[in-house]
Structure 1
Amino acid sequence: MGRGSSLGSDHCLTFSVLMLNVTIGLLGLTLFCLSVWMRFEGEVRVWISELGMYQYWTGLYILMAASIIIVLISICGCGGTLTANPALLGANLSLTSFTFVLFILGASVLLGKYVQPTMDMEYLEEQFTNIFSMKNHRSDEFLIFLYWKSALLVLIALILELAGGIYMVVHGTENSQLTPWLEGKFNRLIIDSNYNDRALNILQTVQEKVGCCGALSYQDYDRNRLPISDFCRDKISGNVFQDGCVKRFSIFIEKRSGWLSGIALFIAFLQIILVGLTFWHWKRVREVDEEDYPRKGYYDPVPTKTR
């Protein structure tokens, strides 16, 4: 009775870990697609490049790297959870190793160009099948090793996600560190627009597209003894825009970075649960391992029949 209850709880735990890995993997893929779209979206890319706001890309790069690791970990975790299939465990090992290399080098493109397969994949699959088909202590130790590595990688990705999400919140929303930086940038553009055509074009483009005037308000032109630009006026009514470009541009960026940060932090929350469940699963595997294989020194890799 106790054995059946324990088996049922193990199945429930396995299903929970599997579903969490699938959910986190899909969210990681969504986060990666949104980050890539945000990085290469025409209007945002041009404005950030023209304003020289390159520190904003740092948060996107962190989230891109973290999301790639998240997807790989999810595949690794699903394969490790479905232990009945030796091929999935072999894929688990390969993806775990690949994720470590990816995290250390930080460039999947370089890996794709310079790392070439040097082993016979059929031979490798046959060896993994032979290893995992052995009902011995070594295969169980290897399974425990996979779960421990998976939990470690989840913690690494969690740190990256929190760093990327917090960085996006700090540098990508209104009333954040982005605000004083933009204020100084727009004030310089207003001053330089009197004699610099490039600064004038940047300022006119932002003011017309976003619907703003000056850094904090139209009075910035008065303080610098410059006429108010025609691009500061509504084309229909002719009235001057009341909001400054710092506020309007911050809101424009916030609408995009808010979604990215929210998804990243939500994934981080799910991964905290996943770390706990993975550790619990790892502990249960060890308990079963100790019950089936008492510690008696070395183990015979070949099972022997009892007479």
Structure 2
Amino acid sequence: MTSEKVEYEKGGWVKTGRYLMYVFNAIFFVFGSILFAFCLWIRFDPNIDNYVRNINFMVYWQAVITCMVGALIVMIASCIGCCSTYLWSKTLLIAYIATSVLAFSVNLGGAIYLLSIGLDSTGAYQYIQENFANLIYRYNYDITAKRSVDIIQETIHCCGGYSTGDWDAIHMPYPDSCRDKVTGNQFSYSCALMGASFLEFRTGWVSGIALCICFLQIFTMMFGCCIYKGINDRRKVYAYVYKE
């Protein structure tokens, strides 16, 4: 029985599963760090912050922060996973599986939410159109609206919410923020189009990394369950040997 125990410990699927757990969790920690850093950059980038705040598109922050929390849970789960594999601890392994399920749920939900609001083809485009057009209508008498419009148009090089015709609709000349400061040429694209494209690039990266982590986590949760079974079998072997 001792030889069977040694062969069990050295052989097969348990040893492979442990190595895979180390590799995958190291990858998860790196990916989680990248996702967390990217979300942090998006959240505190002055240009993005000005744009999101000025058009009152705060739901975008909610989605980004959700993915940021998911990335943090992934990093914590990775550390727990490596410790549980090294120590052969059932308690830590259960904690790892639980945190992995939580991270999977948060990242999947955050990515879906972000994709539903942050792409050019989603409701973001119409939302930006309406909000920006509303700011333009208040341009003459609302200093805050005027400042918001000028900042956005200068930052992302656009003019008008629906189109440049928004300025014609209120019988106003195009403001200086509608023109390139170097060439003096007027920007031809609407702020809804440029704004949606401005956010779409960042949305794609965040949701892509989050969904990639979710896909790979399915395999590590399977490895975790296999190692959990291996720990139980190992304890049964030890119990039988010591009994003899």
TM-score exceeds 0.5: yes
Question: Does the alignment pair 1:58 with 2:53?
Answer: no
* CA distance in structure 2 between the aligned counterparts of 1:62 and 1:238, rounded to whole angstroms: 41
In the alignment, which of 99, 104, 108 is matched to residue 162 of structure 1? 108
Task: Report the counterpart of residue 157 of structure 2 in structure 1.
Answer: 211
Structure possessing the higher radius of gyration over alpha carbons = 1
Q: Tell me whether 259-268 or 227-236 shows the greater mean CA deviation.
A: 227-236
Alignment-derived partner of residue 33 in structure 2: 29
**Which amino acid in structure 1 is aligned with residue 135 of structure 2?**
L
* Aligned counterpart, 1:245: 191
Q: How many residues align?
A: 239
Matched-pair identity in %: 26
Task: Say whether 1:74 aligns with 2:65.
Answer: no
Q: Do the aligned partners of 2:158 and 2:194 also contact (CA within 8 Å) in 1?
A: yes
Identify which of 11, 24, 30 aligns with 1:8: 11
Structure 1 residue 151 and structure 2 residue 88: aligned? no
Residue aligning to 2:231 = 285
* Counterparts of 1:288 and 1:179, CA distance in 2: 57
- Asked if the contact 2:119–2:199 (Cα under 8 Å) also holds between the matched residues in 1, the reply is yes
Deviations 1:94-147 (A, max 9, x none): xxxxxxxxxxxxxxxxxxxxxxxxxxxxxxxxxxxxxxxxxxxxxxxxx33332
| Residue type of the alignment partner of 2:71 | S
Letter in 2 for 1:185: N
> What residue number does 1:202 align with?
148
1:5 positional shift: 7.1
> Are residue 19 (structure 1) and residue 23 (structure 2) matched?
yes
Of the candidates 261, 264, 269, which is equivalent to residue 210 of structure 2? 264
Deviation at 1:237, TM superposition (A): 4.7
Alpha carbons 1:212, 1:244 under 8 Å: kept: yes
What is the Cα deviation at residue 20 of structure 1?
Answer: 0.7
Q: Please give the TM-score of this superposition, normalised by the length of structure 1.
A: 0.71
Query: What 5-or-longer segments of structure 2 have no aligned partner?
Result: none
Unaligned stretches of 5+ residues in structure 1: 85-142, 295-302
User: 1:160-179 CA deviation, whole Å, 9 max, x = no partner?
Assistant: 00111112222222121211
Contact persistence 2:153–2:178 (CA under 8 A): yes
Looking at structure 1, the residues matched to 53 and 182 of structure 2 have their Cα atoms a distance apart, in angstroms, of 30
Q: Secondary structure at the match of 2:11?
A: helix
Give the AA of the match of 1:196.
D
CA shift for structure 1 position 274: 0.7
**Aligned equivalent of 2:177:** 231
Alpha-carbon distance in 2 for matches of 1:208, 1:34? 24
Question: Any conservation in 2 of the 1:216–1:243 contact (CA below 8 Å)?
Answer: no
Q: Report what 2:49 is aligned to.
A: 45
C-alpha displacement at 1:204, in angstroms? 1.5
RMSD between aligned residues: 2.2
Equivalent position to 1:174, from 84, 106, 120:
120
**Contact 1:31–1:263 (CA under 8 A) maintained in structure 2:** yes
Where do 1:73-152 residues align within 5 Å? Answer: 73-83=77-87, 143-152=89-98
